[in-house]
A and B are shown apart, each in its own frame.
Chain A
Amino acid sequence: MEKVRVAILGSGNIGTDLMYKLKRSQILVPTVMVGIVPESEGLALARKEGLTTTHEGIHGLLAKGQLFDIVFEATTAKAHREHAPLLREAGKVVVDLTPAAVGPYVVPLVNLNEHLGEPNVNMVSCGGQATIPMVHSLRQVAPLEYAEIVATIASKSAGPGTRQNIDEFTDTTARGLEKIGGAPRGKAIIILNPAEPPILMRNTVFGLVEDCDPEKLRRSIDEMVKRVQQYVAGYRLRAKPLIEDLVDGGHKKKVTLYIEVEGVGDYLPKYAGNLDIMTSAAVKVGEEIAKHLAAGTWEKKRAEAHS
């Protein structure tokens, strides 16, 4: 199949990292990189990689509308709220990496199929992408009562946007655990750790489940880890899953998973697994959308999504 052409809106760290990942895709090809600062490093690197570039923001992008079908938004939530209606009008499908959440939250392997056909989908949060698949793997085996995650990231990998609105992470991730992960109640915690050299992203997932066969849980967990690894290379369990009987909890079990995410190091440093998992998952989402665009089944999906 011919590769589907995509544009990257935002020439910062995320946009630039995304470009290198998209260049490796068998399904997508990046054609346009958009910034707002002419001399930005991201734009210079994009030119070097043969992409068409513009520093005229959204309007520069829309003027090149014939060059792409999908847009990866890697700016800010505020900017995306302004861009979203314009991109929709231009008939472009958007994979949104900002916290704007104009469209539904998607996590590959969990709920993407439900939202193929949406003109705009949102990537939740780094913690959400790292943990919701695992919460889903528990729920596939046993009724889930509660899910809680602790994401610890290197201070250096948390940009000013994340810092100024840390509640956006905790709230969005907690709702993601509930709405996508299927936990009746979810809680998310984020810790910034300033250690030098910087730590890799860590995620601890706690799940309270009804009584079930621990072997089945282990198999489901292992299988999900392998499936995530197919699109996030540095995703792994730091320790064996810990499955304990809850004291005073009747027959309930407490499951603890220790996950580490190491970045590939395309443009972002390897310790920034939290950013790598966002760009990696976004590419995966873009690829699934592209398959439908290329096969001509997008419109059908779109009708289904809105029926």
Chain B
Amino acid sequence: MSEKTFIHIVDSTLRDGSHALSHQFVAEQVARIAKGLDDAGVEVIEVSHGDGLGGSTINYGFSKQPEVEWLKAASSVIKKGKLAILLLPGIGTKEDLKMAGDVGAKVARIATHVTEADISEQHIGLAKKMGMKAVGFLMMSHMAPPEKLAEQGKLMESYGADVVYVVDSAGALLPTTVRERIRALRNAVKVDVGFHGHNNLSMAVANSLAAIEEGARWIDGCTCGMGAGSGNTATEVLAAVLDKMGYATSIDLWKIMDVAEDLVKPIMLKPVRIGKASLTMGYAGIYSSFLLHAEKAAQQFGVDSRDILMEIGRRKAVGGQEDMIVEVAMALAEKKKESARA
């Protein structure tokens, strides 16, 4: 019998999932969930502000506690797996990365917009120097053609990345467009390739499978499908599907279901689901992290969240431009007032 293909699973409940809680995790919850994930056999457990280290700001939302507290809490309970962080150069700095390394992070995921990989050189370099596994994260992958993405992935590989990811930040990719990107990236780099999906078009599991079939070996998930927008690929669902399809993972299916049901679900403010705003994000290709900011601005200024998101799409905003949301909402409200007067 041939050996089963092994898929590495990264759980981001405590990073991407933090968007769904507006970054209000406390260390005690982090420790409990990280321990659960570790016991369930999750290989890599990511812990950071949703927008990466240093993301605790007015623009992205202040986290309830400093990230160092979350990282220490996770580090103290993770025995088998590895603690990971996310860092977006331009938001977080090398100082943040050093702090994370000092408290036990073993994997550094360095994220840039899909066309801007060259701002990650120093951070990937520092991660390697600190003995960490470095992962290059090409966000908003739908915004660049496969060749461009492959070229950028090659840059990250040249800086020392051990894995390069196609990141569908907007949940806008479909199985065919995932395949094209993974294929182009695999042809360009020697290192492993990964995929990070969002469920805005209900494609997260399907896209992850398409990526695996093209040779991606690292797949991200969040328990309960937490995460920005309509959430990420649900880790427990992914684990079940992969097992059923004959892939090997390090995850204990029953235990990961328990983590989702017993530890994560009770602290969720509301179920992460596909709503009109998050569906619009997948449809129009908008950065999933904008969701709660857009919904809040829609309420504050009395406009439709979908109109805000579509206008942001027209202005070609990239990840991190949360500051545009309120400005767009104000402009739409102004326009609405004018047309009411006319």
Taking beta carbons and an 8 Å cutoff, which residues of A are in contact with B? 146, 148, 150, 152, 155, 160, 163-167, 169-171, 187, 189-195, 199, 202, 204, 206, 208, 238-240, 242, 254, 256, 258
Q: How distant is the Cα of A194 from the Cα of B317 in the complex, in angstroms?
A: 9
CB pair B118 A206 closer than 8 Å:
no
CB pair B59 A150 closer than 8 Å:
yes
Residues of B within 8 A of A258 (CB): 323, 327
Q: How distant is the Cα of A165 from the Cα of B119 in the complex, in angstroms?
A: 7
**Which single residue of chain B is at the shortest CB-CB distance from A238?**
B327
B115 at the interface (CB under 8 A from A): yes
Residues of A within 8 A of B59 (CB): 148, 150, 189, 204, 206
CB pair A194 B90 closer than 8 Å:
no
With A166-B119, A170-B90, A192-B116 as known contacts, state yes or no: A187 contacts B57, CB within 8 Å. yes
Q: How distant is the Cα of A24 from the Cα of B58 in the complex, in angstroms?
A: 40
Residues of A within 8 A of B317 (CB): 193
**Which single residue of chain A is at the shortest CB-CB distance from B97?**
A167
Residues of B within 8 A of A238 (CB): 327
With A204-B323, A254-B58 as known contacts, state yes or no: A199 contacts B316, CB within 8 Å. yes
Minimum distance in angstroms from A159 CB to a CB of chain B: 11
Indicate which residue in B90, B322, B324 contacts A166 across the interface (CB closer than 8 Å): B90
Minimum distance in angstroms from A253 CB to a CB of chain B: 12
Indicate which residue in A164, A167, A190, A240 contacts B118 across the interface (CB closer than 8 Å): A164
Indicate which residue in B54, B122, B316 contacts A193 across the interface (CB closer than 8 Å): B316
Task: Tell me the total A-B contact number using a CB cutoff of 8 A.
Answer: 87
Minimum distance in angstroms from A231 CB to a CB of chain B: 25
B72 at the interface (CB under 8 A from A): no
For residues 298 through 342 of chain B, which have their beta carbon under 8 Å from a beta carbon of chain A?
315-324, 326-327, 330-331
CB pair A163 B119 closer than 8 Å:
yes
Of the A-B pairs whose beta carbons lie under 8 Å apart in the complex, a sample of 17, sorted by A's number, is: A146-B58, A155-B116, A163-B119, A167-B93, A171-B95, A189-B57, A189-B90, A191-B318, A192-B90, A192-B318, A194-B115, A195-B316, A195-B318, A204-B59, A206-B59, A208-B58, A256-B326
Q: Which of A146, A187, A254 has the most CB of B within 10 A?
A: A187
Residues of A within 8 A of B331 (CB): 239
With A191-B318, A242-B326, A256-B326 as known contacts, state yes or no: A148 contacts B90, CB within 8 Å. no
B91 at the interface (CB under 8 A from A): yes
CB pair B58 A164 closer than 8 Å:
no
Q: How distant is the Cα of A189 from the Cα of B324 in the complex, in angstroms?
A: 14
**Which single residue of chain B is at the shortest CB-CB distance from A165?**
B122
B94 at the interface (CB under 8 A from A): yes
Q: How distant is the Cα of A258 from the Cα of B326 in the complex, in angstroms?
A: 10
Q: Which of B58, B89, B317, B324 has the most CB of A within 10 A?
A: B58
Q: How distant is the Cα of A193 from the Cα of B113 in the complex, in angstroms?
A: 8
B121 at the interface (CB under 8 A from A): yes
**Which single residue of chain B is at the shortest CB-CB distance from A254?**
B58
Residues of A within 8 A of B320 (CB): 150, 189, 191
Residues of A within 8 A of B115 (CB): 155, 194
**Which single residue of chain A is at the shortest CB-CB distance from B300?**
A244
CB pair B119 A192 closer than 8 Å:
yes
Residues of B within 8 A of A254 (CB): 58
Q: How distant is the Cα of A112 from the Cα of B122 in the complex, in angstroms?
A: 33
Q: Mark B171-193, 1 if CB is under 8 A from A, else 0.
A: 00000000000000000000000
CB pair B113 A194 closer than 8 Å:
yes
With A170-B90, A171-B93, A193-B316 as known contacts, state yes or no: A163 contacts B118, CB within 8 Å. yes
Minimum distance in angstroms from B155 CB to a CB of chain A: 11
Q: Which of A171, A194, A202, A239 has the most CB of B within 10 A?
A: A194
**Which single residue of chain B is at the shortest CB-CB distance from A204?**
B323
Q: How distant is the Cα of A163 from the Cα of B315 in the complex, in angstroms?
A: 23
Q: How distant is the Cα of A57 from the Cα of B47 in the complex, in angstroms?
A: 49
Q: How distant is the Cα of A169 from the Cα of B90 in the complex, in angstroms?
A: 8
Q: How distant is the Cα of A193 from the Cα of B319 in the complex, in angstroms?
A: 9
